[in-house]
Amino acid sequence: MSENKQSENLLQPEELSPAVELTEKVLAELDRVLLGRSALHRMVLIGILSQGHILLEGVPGVGKTALVKALGQLLNLDFNRVQFTPDLMPGDIVGTHILQQTPDGHREMSFQAGPVFTNILLADEINRASPKTQSALLEAMQERSVTLLGNTRALPSPFFVLASQNPIELEGTYPLPEAQLDRFLFKLIVPHADVDVLDDIISTRRRGEPPVPTWSMSAGQLNQLFDVMDRIFLPKPVSRYISRLTAATHPNASETTEDVKKYVTYAASPRAAIAMAEASRASALLAGRPTVGFEDVKAVASAVLNHRVILNYQARFDSVDTFTIVDSLLATLDETDLNLPDDLEIRSA
């Protein structure tokens, strides 16, 4: 039996430990820089390890930009910030050709790279730009390249878009279309800080300025993390669970819930299942395991699915949000797919 097993593929503890230590170090540093955001830091790091783009939603002043800046410093990656405004043009992001005179007196069009040519792009208040400008990011986010005048240019690797949007002051904003939302691995809600955290901030931070990270990761270490990520094992029952969970967001699915049937208009795409699998791997890595468990899927499911499941007006009338829908799915769907009768249940010994 053991002859058939792929013994060389599973990460051994001694291989995994350095990667886990690195992630713990990043998380500790982030927690030191930004107070009271441990869960958010964990999800952001999962997103980075999954090489996915993250949409941060929160009111102004909760530390979205500070988080992205600290992350860039910690990962030792190039970081550009673009403040999206209604008059922002695609060329302002991806770059443009300008006429320049060469030393020999000739003139030629030379490409002036935009801010997208970086490792981490902070698209601040992305929903304030026009759809035309928002769509300029589509290729960059999916293909990690930019095509201008028929000339395709690869973006630096790794490339992450960390966008932020404000859930209030929606007048004059352009909600992101589903196609663009689907390209974000996570949509993370950045909540208000509680009293203890606020107390810590004002007592320890002069003018609220966060401390500069004292440590940063090298490019090699980052690549090492990505290599470890590739070797995190996804067991078949877990991948099956991810597939069933994604399919269950469809109102016509066999394993769906009454809430989904009642409130969901558009279900999650296959890209959601892929994102969930990747994010689950990263979650397992952060937990120090070489294999993905059901708990990893459950940890990332809401962040992966909440912006991909589109609800109808009835849900708005009944004050039902996507988190409620995803929670009901997670509570209802049996991870192990045992298909046991309702009156038969398994309890941990």
Partner 1 sequence: MNTDNKTIRRFRIKMAALLILKNILAFATVWGLLWGTVVIVLRATIGMPPLALLTGAIGLIVGIGCAVALALRHIPTRTALRASLDKHSGAGGLMMAAETVELGNWRRQMPLIKPPRLRWRGGAYWGRFLGAVLFVCISLLIPQRFVEISKAQPLDIREEVNELADGIDVLKEEEIIELAEAKILEDKLAQLQAEASGEDPVKTWESLDHLADTLSQEAADAAQDALSETERLTEAETLSEGLINEGSEMDAKLLMESMAALSGLVQEAAQENELFAAQLPDLAGDGDSLTLDQLKEISAALRLTKSDIYDRLVKLREVNLIDLETLKACEKLGQCNSDGLAAFLAENADSKSVVECISGWCRGIGRGPGHAPMTWSEDTTEEGAKFKAEALPLSDIASLEDSEIVGLSIGTPSVNTSSEPSQLGGLSGATTGGGSSFNQTVLPRHKRAVKRYFERP
29 close to 75: Cβ distance less than 8 angstroms? no
Eight-state DSSP code of residue 50: T
Instruction: From residue 271, give the alpha-carbon distance in Å to each of 5, 12, 114, 184.
Output: 29, 30, 28, 10
Q: Can you tell me which of 215, 235, 252, 261 binds partner 1, judged by CB under 8 A?
A: 235
Give the count of beta carbons closer than 10 Å to the beta carbon of residue 148.
16
- Compute how many residues bind partner 1; rule: CB under 8 A: 38
Which residue number, 7 or 203, has a Cβ lying nearer to partner 1? 7
Name the one range near partner 1 by CB under 8 A: 76-84, 130-138, 228-236, 264-272: 228-236
Q: Can you tell me which of 120, 238, 320, 325 binds partner 1, judged by CB under 8 A?
A: 238
| Closest distance to partner 1 from the beta carbon of 344 (Å) | 5
How many whole angstroms separate alpha carbon 200 and alpha carbon 35? 8
Amino acid at 14: E
Which residue number, 2 or 214, has a Cβ lying nearer to partner 1? 2
Instruction: From residue 187, give the alpha-carbon distance in Å to each of 157, 190, 259.
Output: 22, 10, 21
| Closest distance to partner 1 from the beta carbon of 340 (Å) | 7
Residue whose C-alpha is closest to residue 180's, from 321, 312, 51, 308: 308
x/- map, 281-320, partner 1, by CB under 8 A: ---x--x-xxxxxxxx------------------------
Which residue number, 10 or 189, has a Cβ lying nearer to partner 1? 10
| Closest distance to partner 1 from the beta carbon of 286 (Å) | 12
x/- map, 188-227, partner 1, by CB under 8 A: ----------------------------------------
Residues of span 329-348 touching partner 1 by CB under 8 A? 335-341, 343-348
Which residue number, 195 or 349, has a Cβ lying nearer to partner 1? 349
Eight-state DSSP code of residue 97: E
Residues 6+ positions from 241 with CB-CB distance below 8 Å: 294, 297, 333, 335, 336, 337
Eight-state DSSP code of residue 157: S
Name the one range near partner 1 by CB under 8 A: 36-44, 232-240, 268-276, 309-317: 232-240
Phi, psi of 221 (to 5 degrees): -65, -40
Q: Is 13 in the site for partner 1 (CB under 8 A)?
A: yes
Q: Can you tell me which of 7, 102, 214, 319 binds partner 1, judged by CB under 8 A?
A: 7
| Closest distance to partner 1 from the beta carbon of 335 (Å) | 6
Amino acid at 90: P
Phi, psi of 228 (to 5 degrees): -65, -40
Residues of span 246-285 touching partner 1 by CB under 8 A? 284
Phi, psi of 101 (to 5 degrees): -95, 130
Cα-to-chain-centroid distance, residue 127: 17
| Closest distance to partner 1 from the beta carbon of 345 (Å) | 5
Residues of span 150-189 touching partner 1 by CB under 8 A? none
Would you call 60 helix, strand, or coil by DSSP?
coil
Name the one range near partner 1 by CB under 8 A: 60-68, 94-102, 181-189, 235-243: 235-243
Residue whose C-alpha is closest to residue 226's, from 53, 101, 45, 67: 45
Chain residues that interact with partner 1, rule: CB under 8 A: 2, 5-7, 9-10, 12-14, 233, 235-238, 284, 287, 289-296, 335-341, 343-349
